[in-house]
A = this chain, B = another copy of it.
């Protein structure tokens, strides 16, 4: 693990940032009295200072961003999101670094060189008059650049190891996203979200990949292509650029309290498709056809890639979910005393999440994906077991980490436009890419929405589809995937293009969100807790809208078996398991569950918070979780938990419906007024 600056392909690159943590000092029994006086000492000191200055630059950038956001929030400016702002500051600093500082270097000489017949090994020994020195491989270097190795050190210095993005900055962002998914709306739209994320991303990847291959062919014809650019490269670009990140749009949605379902669709899709895109890109890299016709279609290699995709994805998923469940169990079994030590609880929670990432990486899976599903699982189960104090602490801890990491990535993007030294700006490729991502997004959203609407009772309406089309911004994940490997001509061109696409979409689409919301007549100002989706259809038709069998099945299983085992909420197992499982059930049920069952007000589960709502939602699977149903059970019998039982009194439903309709009118009128609001509801 010593190759801190090694350039090569994905896996090799991946080894770096962790390698930097576990370095290898002790093994060398050095007698370096002689070395201490070397120029290395001075250089190292200089380099250390330089490193501090670089990091300081970023910290100050972030500080500046925060101060400005503050001002913006204070003045209620909404056309520029903090991430967009961070990019602008990054750009400014990049310009200063590039053009403002004279390119002096502290020594200009070409480094000493030596020749060997064998290929490069990772470790090389240098014999200087009997003394041996150990050297590590940093990477291949173009013969033209030999004399510049030290010269462009200044700009190279502000270039972070790409794996820092993957191993340090992305995990908190992704985990936080997963952790925030604990929303009723998310689970209600799970089917659609999964469809968009998996099928949609795959479609987008292939559409973009093929279109870009056309663009590349065109470039070849007009002589704009100076190096190799394979079909697999195009597909890789498709995967990279298919990771959407509508952070700007979602922030505005959040602030304006836009429609919950649309929010859930967009947020869920963007979180899940990050995972899909990252695994997809790994699979495409793994696609190596045998024989002469490399980089063209080969069935066996293709299926191998598909296998890699499924293997990595399901492995990471299982690993993440498993760790989440383990956390839930740990926090479950110690439930009485853990609450007294919120610091320990928070620390444990943090460590378990991090170990998921490391475990997945250690097993060859994708840590980021594992962390995502760990976050979702923890939000669903562990969260319910934590003390209120810990819940708050954990949330805040990840909030701060997520905030810092996100703004760091975006300000780095701005910086990279000027400080990255191997940009390849190809106008044809860039224009082609802009058109391709537009078409790719359209092929993702519209056909899939049409198909989903066939199955959904609660259709995804036209204006929602347009909004989803519009919200296909690119962000942190696309950037991290693109910067991961910038060794070849093709990858460098992709990186430059990705950067420009991120800038454009974040600034233009992000800035235009409020205008678009108003233009598409999407309601805002919805109180999330009261949002029962009276979307204009008649109420009866909606009652079955989410009764997709998959969701129903999952919900029943989760609510009756998993929740009682893993958390203190949900009904006691004694009431949900068949009677012959009685002893087992009472052994697994926590005493608190009975109490909860008595109270029947489960304050931390969003899924069953608005119980009366759920009663309607499931239509024929009415899980009457509310005491208001009048049949509150008292422990063993579980008469209140009438799964598969119908709910009788429809008169009360009609009354509620009328009430809701009138409220919705109010919300709608408030909503349209609020597209450019005076913000009187904050």
Name A's B-contacting residues (CB within 8 A): 1-9, 11-36, 38, 40-41, 43-45, 47-56, 59-60, 62-63, 66-67, 69-70, 73-74, 110-146, 148-150, 152-153, 155-162, 164, 330, 334, 337-338, 340-341, 343-344, 346-348, 350-352, 354-355, 358-359, 361-364, 367, 393, 396-397, 399-400, 403-404, 420-422, 486-488
Question: Are A30 and B157 touching (Cβ within 8 A)?
Answer: no
Question: Are A70 and B334 touching (Cβ within 8 A)?
Answer: yes
Question: Are B1 and A40 touching (Cβ within 8 A)?
Answer: no
Distance of A52 Cα from B370 Cα, bound (Å) = 14
Question: Are A355 and B56 touching (Cβ within 8 A)?
Answer: yes
Q: Which of A21, A119, A126, A399 has the most CB of B within 10 A?
A: A126
Question: Are B156 and A26 touching (Cβ within 8 A)?
Answer: yes
Question: Are B121 and A111 touching (Cβ within 8 A)?
Answer: yes
Question: Are A18 and B344 touching (Cβ within 8 A)?
Answer: no
A124 CB to nearest B CB, Å: 5
Contact of A28 among B29, B140, B153, B348 (CB under 8 A): B140
Distance of A34 Cα from B23 Cα, bound (Å) = 27
- The interface residues of chain B lying within 8 Å CB-to-CB of A132 are 113, 140-143, 146
- The interface residues of chain B lying within 8 Å CB-to-CB of A330 are 67
Q: Given known contacts A4-B20, A59-B351, A67-B330, what 12 new A-B pairs fall within 8 Å (CB)?
A: A2-B138, A6-B40, A8-B36, A21-B55, A27-B155, A29-B141, A45-B364, A56-B359, A111-B123, A115-B126, A123-B149, A346-B400
Question: Are B116 and A112 touching (Cβ within 8 A)?
Answer: yes
Contact of A19 among B9, B17, B25, B51 (CB under 8 A): B51
Known: A12-B44, A157-B24, A343-B400. A134 touches B124 (CB 8 A): no
A167 CB to nearest B CB, Å: 9
Question: Are B487 and A30 touching (Cβ within 8 A)?
Answer: yes
Question: Are A400 and B347 touching (Cβ within 8 A)?
Answer: yes
- The interface residues of chain B lying within 8 Å CB-to-CB of A340 are 73
* A20 closest partner in B (C-beta): B20
* A362 closest partner in B (C-beta): B52
- The interface residues of chain B lying within 8 Å CB-to-CB of A355 are 56, 59-60, 63
A234 CB to nearest B CB, Å: 17
A598 CB to nearest B CB, Å: 27
Contact of A48 among B1, B36, B155, B420 (CB under 8 A): B1
Question: Are A36 and B21 touching (Cβ within 8 A)?
Answer: no
- The interface residues of chain B lying within 8 Å CB-to-CB of A129 are 117
Question: Are B146 and A125 touching (Cβ within 8 A)?
Answer: yes
A344 CB to nearest B CB, Å: 5
- The interface residues of chain B lying within 8 Å CB-to-CB of A119 are 38, 128
- The interface residues of chain B lying within 8 Å CB-to-CB of A11 are 41, 44-45, 48
- The interface residues of chain B lying within 8 Å CB-to-CB of A146 are 125, 132
Q: Which of A30, A50, A52, A136 has the most CB of B within 10 A?
A: A52
* A62 closest partner in B (C-beta): B351
Distance of A341 Cα from B82 Cα, bound (Å) = 14
